[in-house]
Structure 1
Amino acid sequence: MCLAVHFLGMSVWVLSHADTFATANTSSMSSITGFGNSYIESKYSNLPVIDLGIKITEKDLNNSVVFANSVLNNMKRLETSLGWSDIRVKTGTPSHGMFISFSPEREAIKLGRDALVAMKASVQLLNSFCNKHNLNHHACARYLTSFKFSGTPLNSSCTRMEKRCSHEEYLSPYRSIDGSCNHISNGKMGESFTGFTRLLYPDYLDGIHEPRRAVNRNLLPSPRSISLSVVDHVEKLDEHLTLAVMQWGQFLEHDLSRPATAVMIHTEKPIECCSAQGKNLSPRYIHPFCSPVYASTKDNKRYTKKSLDCMNYVRSIPALRSDCSFGPSDQVNQATHFLDGSQIYGSTYRKSNSLRSFISGKLEMSDENYLPMSQNPMEDCQVNSSKSFCYKSGDSRVNFQPQLTAMHTIWFREHNRIAEELANINSHWEDDILFQETRRIVIAEMQHITYNEWIKKILSSKYRSIIEAFSIFDENIDPSVSNSFATATMRSLKSLYDGNIKLFNENREANSSLSLQKYFNNPNKIQQPGILDALIRGLATQSSQKIDRHFAEDLINKLYTNGHFGFDVLSMDIQRGRDHGLPGYTQYRTLCGLRNAENFNDFSDVMPEKHINILSETYSNPKDVDLIVGGILENVEEGSIFGPTFSCIIADQFMRTKKGDRYFYTNEIQPKPFSVAQLNEIKKVTLARIFCDNGNNITSMQRDAFEKVNTRNNLVSCEGEDIPRLSLSLWEEGRGRYFH
Structure 2
Amino acid sequence: MGKSQLDYDWDVSPLTLALSFLTATFIVGLRFADGSVVSVVIANVVAHLMLFRSKRTMNHPGRKRRPLRSEQLEARQLLAADFGGYRHNIYDAEDVNDDGRVSAIDALLIINAMTNETARDESMFTDVNDDGRRSALDALRVINRIERGDVFPIDTSADEELNLLLPEMSSEVRSIDGTGNNPNDHFWGSVGQRLIRMAPAAYGDGISTLAGADRPSAREVSNVLSEMNTSQALNDRGLSAFVYVWGQFIDHDLGLSESDEHGEAIDIAVPEGDLWFDPTGSGEAVIPMTRTPIAEGTGTSVDNPAQQFNQITAFIDGSMVYGSDAATAERLRTFVGGRMAISEDGLLPMDESGMVIAGDVRASENVGLTAIQTLFVREHNRLADEISGSDPEATDEEIYQRARLVVAGLIQSITYNEFLPALLGEHAMEPYRGYDASVNPGIANEFSTAAFRLGHSVLRDEVGFMSNDGRESQNEMELKDAFFHASMLEETGIDSLLKYDASVWAQEVDLGVVDSLRNFLFGPPGAGGLDLVAMNIQRGRDHGLSDYNSTRAAYGLNRVESFDQITGDVSLQQKLTSLYGSVDNIDLWVGLMAENHQDDASVGELTGKIIADQFQRTRDGDRFFYRNVLNDLEIESLERSTLADVIERNTSIEGLQENVFSMQVEIRGRVILASSVPPTTMPSNLREDEMRGVEGMTIELIDGAGTLVDSTASDQHGNYRFRSLSETGDYQVRLSQSGETIDVLIAHGEERIRGLDFYVA
Interval containing the TM-score (normalised by the shorter chain): 0.5 to 0.7
Query: Following superposition of structure 1 onto structure 2, how do residues 166-177 of structure 1 map, counting pairs within 5 Å?
Result: 173-177=172-176
Aligned equivalent of 1:444: 409
Given residue 325 of structure 2, which amino acid in structure 1 is its aligned partner? T
Cα distance in structure 1, aligned partners of 2:665 and 2:611: 29
- Greater relative contact order (Cα < 8 A, sep 6+): 1
Superimposed CA distance per residue, residues 89-121 of structure 1 (whole angstroms, 9 cap, x where no aligned partner): xxxxxxxxxxxxxxxxxxxxxxxxxxxxxxxxx
Aligned equivalent of 1:355: 332
**1:323 to 1:689, Cα distance in 2 relative to 1, 3 A:** farther
Superimposed CA distance per residue, residues 477-519 of structure 1 (whole angstroms, 9 cap, x where no aligned partner): 1010101100101112111101111211221112411111112
Superimposed CA distance per residue, residues 13-72 of structure 1 (whole angstroms, 9 cap, x where no aligned partner): xxxxx999853399x9xxxxxxxxxxxxxxxxxxxxxxxxxxxxxxxxxxxxxxxxxxxx
Cα distance in structure 1, aligned partners of 2:297 and 2:604: 31
SS of corresponding position for 1:397: coil
Q: 2:637 aligns with which of 675, 681, 690?
A: 681
Superimposed CA distance per residue, residues 168-211 of structure 1 (whole angstroms, 9 cap, x where no aligned partner): xxx95211000000011100110011111111111112222111
Given residue 327 of structure 1, which amino acid in structure 2 is its aligned partner? N
Aligned equivalent of 2:479: 516
Aligned equivalent of 1:414: 379
Q: 1:590 aligns with which of 528, 553, 569?
A: 553
Given residue 292 of structure 2, which amino acid in structure 1 is its aligned partner? S
Cα distance in structure 2, aligned partners of 1:415 and 1:643: 36
Q: Is the 8 A contact 2:519 2:525 kept in 1?
A: no
Aligned equivalent of 1:221: 216
Q: 2:594 aligns with which of 633, 645, 648?
A: 633
Q: Is the 8 A contact 2:566 2:595 kept in 1?
A: no
- 1:292 and 2:267 aligned: yes
Cα distance in structure 1, aligned partners of 2:585 and 2:535: 17
SS of corresponding position for 1:502: strand
SS of corresponding position for 1:409: helix
- 1:237 and 2:234 aligned: yes
- What's the offset of the Cα at 1:213? 3.2
Given residue 644 of structure 2, which amino acid in structure 1 is its aligned partner? A
Cα distance in structure 1, aligned partners of 2:648 and 2:559: 49
**Where does structure 2 lack aligned partners over 5 or more consecutive residues?**
1-70, 82-169, 668-722, 729-749, 751-761
- 1:700 and 2:655 aligned: yes
- What's the offset of the Cα at 1:563? 7.4
- What's the offset of the Cα at 1:704? 1.1
- What's the offset of the Cα at 1:609? 2.3
Cα distance in structure 2, aligned partners of 1:472 and 1:20: 12
**1:628 to 1:323, Cα distance in 2 relative to 1, 3 A:** closer
Q: Is the 8 A contact 2:222 2:533 kept in 1?
A: yes
- What's the offset of the Cα at 1:461? 3.9
Superimposed CA distance per residue, residues 538-565 of structure 1 (whole angstroms, 9 cap, x where no aligned partner): 1100111111122110000000105754
Q: 1:398 aligns with which of 355, 363, 380?
A: 363
Query: Following superposition of structure 1 onto structure 2, how do residues 230-269 of structure 1 map, counting pairs within 5 Å?
Result: 230-235=225-230, 236-239=233-236, 240-262=238-260
Cα distance in structure 2, aligned partners of 1:690 and 1:503: 19
Given residue 635 of structure 2, which amino acid in structure 1 is its aligned partner? L
Cα distance in structure 2, aligned partners of 1:202 and 1:324: 13
Given residue 206 of structure 1, which amino acid in structure 2 is its aligned partner? D
TM-score by length of structure 1 reads 0.65
Q: 1:339 aligns with which of 301, 305, 316?
A: 316
Cα distance in structure 2, aligned partners of 1:563 and 1:624: 29
Cα distance in structure 1, aligned partners of 2:72 and 2:408: 30
- What's the offset of the Cα at 1:602? 4.8
- 1:305 and 2:280 aligned: yes
Query: Following superposition of structure 1 onto structure 2, how do residues 656-675 of structure 1 map, counting pairs within 5 Å?
Result: 656-667=617-628, 673-675=629-631
Q: What RMSD in Å do the two structures reach over aligned CA positions?
A: 2.8
Deviating more after overlay: 449-458 vs 322-331? 322-331
**1:581 to 1:650, Cα distance in 2 relative to 1, 3 A:** same
- 1:618 and 2:579 aligned: yes
Cα distance in structure 2, aligned partners of 1:260 and 1:561: 19
Given residue 220 of structure 2, which amino acid in structure 1 is its aligned partner? S
- What's the offset of the Cα at 1:390? 2.2
**1:560 to 1:301, Cα distance in 2 relative to 1, 3 A:** closer
Q: Is the 8 A contact 2:375 2:650 kept in 1?
A: yes
Q: 2:77 aligns with which of 20, 24, 35?
A: 24
SS of corresponding position for 1:331: coil
**Where does structure 1 lack aligned partners over 5 or more consecutive residues?**
1-17, 29-170, 263-269, 272-286, 378-388, 668-672, 716-721, 723-740
Cα distance in structure 2, aligned partners of 1:651 and 1:245: 16
- What's the offset of the Cα at 1:592? 3.8
Aligned equivalent of 2:56: none
Cα distance in structure 1, aligned partners of 2:548 and 2:525: 35
Aligned equivalent of 1:527: 490
Given residue 234 of structure 2, which amino acid in structure 1 is its aligned partner? L
Aligned equivalent of 2:449: 487
Cα distance in structure 2, aligned partners of 1:412 and 1:175: 18
SS of corresponding position for 2:216: coil
SS of corresponding position for 2:506: strand
**1:322 to 1:662, Cα distance in 2 relative to 1, 3 A:** farther
- What's the offset of the Cα at 1:457? 0.4
Given residue 437 of structure 1, which amino acid in structure 2 is its aligned partner? R
Cα distance in structure 2, aligned partners of 1:574 and 1:678: 43
Cα distance in structure 1, aligned partners of 2:380 and 2:565: 48
Aligned equivalent of 1:569: 532
Cα distance in structure 1, aligned partners of 2:243 and 2:268: 30
- What's the offset of the Cα at 1:471? 3.7
User: Identity of paired residues, percent?
Assistant: 29
User: What is the aligned length?
Assistant: 505
TM-score by length of structure 2 reads 0.63
Given residue 678 of structure 1, which amino acid in structure 2 is its aligned partner? E
Aligned equivalent of 1:368: 345
Aligned equivalent of 2:137: none
Q: Is the 8 A contact 1:541 1:709 kept in 2?
A: no
SS of corresponding position for 1:248: helix
**1:692 to 1:589, Cα distance in 2 relative to 1, 3 A:** same
Give the structure with the larger helix fraction. Answer: 1
**1:629 to 1:681, Cα distance in 2 relative to 1, 3 A:** same
Cα distance in structure 1, aligned partners of 2:212 and 2:595: 23
Given residue 226 of structure 1, which amino acid in structure 2 is its aligned partner? V
Given residue 295 of structure 1, which amino acid in structure 2 is its aligned partner? V
Q: Is the 8 A contact 1:256 1:481 kept in 2?
A: yes
Given residue 520 of structure 2, which amino acid in structure 1 is its aligned partner? K
Aligned equivalent of 1:201: 200
Q: Is the 8 A contact 1:225 1:298 kept in 2?
A: no
Aligned equivalent of 1:454: 419
SS of corresponding position for 1:561: coil
- What's the offset of the Cα at 1:323? 14
Cα distance in structure 2, aligned partners of 1:294 and 1:694: 47
